[in-house]
Chains A and B, each alone.
Chain A
Amino acid sequence: ETGVTQTPRHLVMGMTNKKSLKCEQHLGHNAMYWYKQSAKKPLELMFVYSLEERVENNSVPSRFSPECPNSSHLFLHLHTLQPEDSALYLCASSLSGDQPQHFGDGTRLSIL
């Protein structure tokens, strides 16, 4: 059972749609992350929030917009996505410092 919950688990959307992915953690962590997982590629770190401030943005296209309203919630707002954006999007959380990251089970995103 994971302490990091992601919704929805599956999402199919057209290229002109706007949708949001949600992540919630109940572990008392103060850092949260978005990763993209594509087949046969390494997990790609997209965004890092520490103490609700964005501290990392790995050259992610602006069609992905993160939001961290508090230390327990993280959103990824999606708009005008491309077919190559189809992937598994994983959220993770940790305590800043010398602590491991805990992952959610991901949202499988398909762009038509």
Chain B
Amino acid sequence: IAGITQAPTSQILAAGRRMTLRCTQDMRHNAMYWYRQDLGLGLRLIHYSNTAGTTGKGEVPDGYSVSRANTDDFPLTLASAVPSQTSVYFCASSDGTSGSGGTDTQYFGPGTRLTVL
């Protein structure tokens, strides 16, 4: 059992380019989340999905979009990358469906380190 996988592990991207970060979980969890983590700041929620077919905005959604076509996959797309989107991106999942955090433990993928030049 892999848990949650993310791809790519790292990426250097030119500003203005489109980029999709992939996230797949095999735990059949209902809820999935995308966070960004920047030095000195806590994890910040970008978007979430309580169940397949539904998505919601988190604290910092601007410049990002998501889709949830099925239970396992939750890709994050940067339509036109900017340098301020340089960050480490974590995908997470949980079995809970209450709001954007749920009452259940969140399990994290290994992260994608993205640099936008």
Whether chains A and B associate is: no
Which residues in A have some Cβ–Cβ distance to B below 8 Å? none
